[in-house]
A and B are shown apart, each in its own frame.
Chain A
Amino acid sequence: MITTSGLTKVYRSRGREVSALDGVDLHVREGEVYGVIGQSGAGKSSLIRCVNLLERPTSGTVTVDGVDLTALGGGGRRAGKELRQARSRIGMVFQHFNLLSSRTVQDNVELPLEILGVTGRERSRKALELLDLVGLSDKAKSYPSQLSGGQKQRVGIARALAGDPKVLLSDEATSALDPETTRSILQLLRDLNRQLGLTVLLITHEMDVVKTVCDSAALMERGQIVESGTVSELLATPGSELAAALFPVSGEASGEDRTVVDVTFHGEAATQPVISQLSRTYNIDISILGAAMDTVAGRQVGRMRIELPGRFEENVVPIGFLREQGLQVDVAGREELADGAPQLVKEGVAK
């Protein structure tokens, strides 16, 4: 649905060049919620603004719903007619809502329809329908200043949906909201994604947002996408920073003669009571040092850090059992056995 390839964006100011995007390849499938996470300055804001060409990328292409936007005319700040038409089919919500304070809620939602040239009666019908969809039908005649942050963002979402877009871009839409409101807005995005088949690309710096609502995620650092994939794929990737951040486990061995094992659950195995099976089968005592389990996109996923008595050499068989169950097993301190284990050890120490 959204594909960017080799996207770069270089800002020039006072002779200095700052590279905000450095060869970003992003692929968002139709109907999924895709989260791009990164710290401020990582380039995620530039990325989302390049998707509807609010910023024109220095090089690379952006394709949304089969249309190569970068090929459409309009150099510089002034967008050509075709680009403007394409933009009207891409909804966008903003961190600071960007509602017109001089217009009522209903008039704000009607604004994109005015731009599209929809007639008055049809405009108000559509606007009221959308306000109903976001649960604000009683606020149609209010002004934005009379609404709470969460309500403002609902208006922003209703407005973004006015042009019947297939794609919704969310630029830190929940970052100005409290945790409670954030959850309700994310729930709304989730519902819209399911009801309308809307493809959502959101950027955020909050891991919780990705965890709550995203099917897929990408981690951005210094203008590049470092990791990307569906949440299950990420979890299955040894040493994945995103997986570690989404499912942080901590805890250190309680003594010398102990083996610390990280077990990652994704897919089928998550429904099996493997830990108690392991305990009963081999008659060993297992301590759970830490665990982060969750239901992501309807599937149970997570990680658990357990401690087995004895050195690694004594635990080869139980660990083999866990692997047989389809679990991903990483043994702390055994770099040669677990791919990406160096990161694992480092993380264990850091936490």
Chain B
Amino acid sequence: MQPLLSQACWDTFYMVAWSTLIAVVGGLPLGLLLVLTDRGGLLQNVVANKVIGQIVNIARSMPFIILMVALMGFTRAIVGTTIGVEAAIVPLAVGAIPFFARLVETAVREVDGGLVEAVQSMGGNTWTVVRKVLVPESLPSLISATTTTIVALIGYSAMAGTVGAGGLGDIAIRYGYQRFESSLMWITVAVLAVVISLIQFAGDSGARVLHRRAGKGGEPLRFRAFTGLLPGGPVASESTATAGSSAKSG
């Protein structure tokens, strides 16, 4: 039982870590583009904005399990197989990029336009504005967004078991549900609860430290156990992480 669990933990970690990394690398520029190309933005381009926004919306509204199946050809082209942990990373990342991009968009929109203007008045170009203002000033919110994405990805990764990727969710289904080993299932649930709580705590602390330094107050820190596991958990924590994001995320 022990090696089974530790292997599952490692699989989950591996999948979530890689897909988070890819989601951040892909979603950050996408989210910035959503803001910059919008009406009144520095790179205003209404057509591009509508197109990107529409793609993000479609990708976001797709149920993950369908996305996973739909992307099988793409997955095979990239990692050479549609089965296993590596194969699961592809749909996880593809699903998380638009999710993270919307969170980035909300975070970056919060940045005071006066700061952008100040940098322009110093002779800064758009790239300077992105590098020196938009990203550093929204960093606390971006950290919250990353936390939310990680928690959501842990949730999605449970479904990755259906393509033989393993992981904690897979254990809970195969052993806990299908073999009626309820003790193993509950252990899995407990492990997930602890992991998610720790991630949420770490993310909140990081965001809060930056927030406090920036003098924006910061919400009181709560140790939010189980929130990520409850039905609709990732969505609920999304709305607490970056206020108002759920309104725009659809």
Does A43 lie at the interface of the complex (its beta carbon under 8 Å from any beta carbon of B)?
no
Known: A92-B118, A100-B133. Contact between A146 and B215, CB under 8 A?
A: yes
Q: What is the bound-complex CA distance between A78 and B44, given in angstroms?
A: 9
Instruction: Name the one of A54, A85, A115, A159 contacting B117, with C-beta atoms under 8 angstroms.
Output: A54
Q: A98 to B112, Cβ gap below 8 A?
A: yes
Q: A112 to B123, Cβ gap below 8 A?
A: yes
Residues of B within 8 A of A54 (CB): 117, 120-121
Does B164 lie at the interface of the complex (its beta carbon under 8 Å from any beta carbon of A)?
no
Closest-by-CB residue of B relative to A87 is: B123
Tell me which of A94, A102, A145, A159 has the highest count of chain B C-beta atoms within 10 A of its own C-beta.
A102
Residues of A within 8 A of B124 (CB): 84, 115
Residues of A within 8 A of B182 (CB): none
Closest-by-CB residue of A relative to B214 is: A101
Chain B min CB distance to A311 (Å): 59
Q: B44 to A143, Cβ gap below 8 A?
A: no
Instruction: Identify whether the interface residues of B are mostly helix, strand, loop, or mixed.
Output: helix
Does B225 lie at the interface of the complex (its beta carbon under 8 Å from any beta carbon of A)?
no
Does B125 lie at the interface of the complex (its beta carbon under 8 Å from any beta carbon of A)?
yes
Q: A79 to B125, Cβ gap below 8 A?
A: yes
Chain A min CB distance to B42 (Å): 6
Q: What is the bound-complex CA distance between A79 and B43, given in angstroms?
A: 11
Residues of B within 8 A of A115 (CB): 119, 122-124, 128, 132
Chain B min CB distance to A64 (Å): 13
A-B contact number at CB 8 A: 83
Q: What is the bound-complex CA distance between A100 and B135, given in angstroms?
A: 11
Instruction: Identify whether the interface residues of A are mostly helix, strand, loop, or mixed.
Output: mixed
- Of the four ranges (under 10, 10 to 19, 20 to 34, 35 or more), the interface on chain B belongs to 20 to 34
Instruction: Name the one of A77, A100, A163 contacting B115, with C-beta atoms under 8 angstroms.
Output: A100
Q: Mark B198-222, 1 if CB is under 8 A from A, else 0.
A: 0000000000001001111000000
Q: A92 to B121, Cβ gap below 8 A?
A: yes
Does A232 lie at the interface of the complex (its beta carbon under 8 Å from any beta carbon of B)?
no
Instruction: Name the one of B122, B125, B215 contacting A112, with C-beta atoms under 8 angstroms.
Output: B122
Q: What is the bound-complex CA distance between A52 and B44, given in angstroms?
A: 20
Known: A78-B42, A94-B114, A111-B132. Contact between A100 and B137, CB under 8 A?
A: yes
Chain A min CB distance to B41 (Å): 8
Q: A143 to B213, Cβ gap below 8 A?
A: yes
Q: What is the bound-complex CA distance between A169 and B118, given in angstroms?
A: 12
Tell me which of B115, B123, B125 has the highest count of chain A C-beta atoms within 10 A of its own C-beta.
B123
Q: A102 to B139, Cβ gap below 8 A?
A: yes
Q: What is the bound-complex CA distance between A333 and B57, given in angstroms?
A: 73
Does B126 lie at the interface of the complex (its beta carbon under 8 Å from any beta carbon of A)?
yes
Q: What is the bound-complex CA distance between A163 and B118, given in angstroms?
A: 13
Instruction: Name the one of A84, A94, A102 contacting B118, with C-beta atoms under 8 angstroms.
Output: A94
Does A114 lie at the interface of the complex (its beta carbon under 8 Å from any beta carbon of B)?
yes
Q: What is the bound-complex CA distance between A103 and B215, given in angstroms?
A: 11
Residues of A within 8 A of B123 (CB): 84-88, 112, 115-116, 163
Does A76 lie at the interface of the complex (its beta carbon under 8 Å from any beta carbon of B)?
yes
Closest-by-CB residue of A relative to B215 is: A145
Chain A min CB distance to B97 (Å): 25
Does A96 lie at the interface of the complex (its beta carbon under 8 Å from any beta carbon of B)?
yes
Chain A min CB distance to B32 (Å): 15
Instruction: Name the one of A79, A103, A145 contacting B136, with C-beta atoms under 8 angstroms.
Output: A103
Q: A98 to B215, Cβ gap below 8 A?
A: no
Does A57 lie at the interface of the complex (its beta carbon under 8 Å from any beta carbon of B)?
no
Q: A79 to B120, Cβ gap below 8 A?
A: yes
Chain A min CB distance to B103 (Å): 19
Q: B117 to A98, Cβ gap below 8 A?
A: yes
Q: Which parts of A54-89 form the interface with B (CB within 8 Å)?
A: 54, 76-79, 84-88
Q: What is the bound-complex CA distance between A117 and B121, given in angstroms?
A: 16
Known: A77-B44, A79-B120, A87-B120. Contact between A98 and B115, CB under 8 A?
A: yes
Tell me which of B41, B118, B133 has the highest count of chain A C-beta atoms within 10 A of its own C-beta.
B118
Known: A98-B115, A163-B122. Contact between A144 and B215, CB under 8 A?
A: yes
Chain A min CB distance to B112 (Å): 7
Q: What is the bound-complex CA distance between A179 and B41, given in angstroms?
A: 36
Does A90 lie at the interface of the complex (its beta carbon under 8 Å from any beta carbon of B)?
yes
Residues of A within 8 A of B132 (CB): 100, 111, 114-115
Residues of A within 8 A of B210 (CB): 102
Q: What is the bound-complex CA distance between A138 and B63, given in angstroms?
A: 56
Chain B min CB distance to A87 (Å): 4
Q: What is the bound-complex CA distance between A94 and B116, given in angstroms?
A: 12
Closest-by-CB residue of B relative to A143 is: B213
Chain B min CB distance to A199 (Å): 16
Q: What is the bound-complex CA distance between A68 and B133, given in angstroms?
A: 29
A54-B121, A92-B118 given; 12 more Cβ-contact pairs under 8 Å? A77-B41, A77-B44, A96-B114, A98-B112, A98-B115, A100-B133, A102-B137, A111-B122, A114-B132, A145-B214, A163-B122, A169-B121
Pairs across A and B, CB under 8 Å, 5 listed? A78-B43, A101-B215, A102-B137, A115-B128, A145-B216
The 9 closest A-B pairs by CB, nearest first: A145-B215, A88-B123, A101-B214, A98-B118, A112-B122, A84-B123, A92-B121, A98-B114, A87-B123
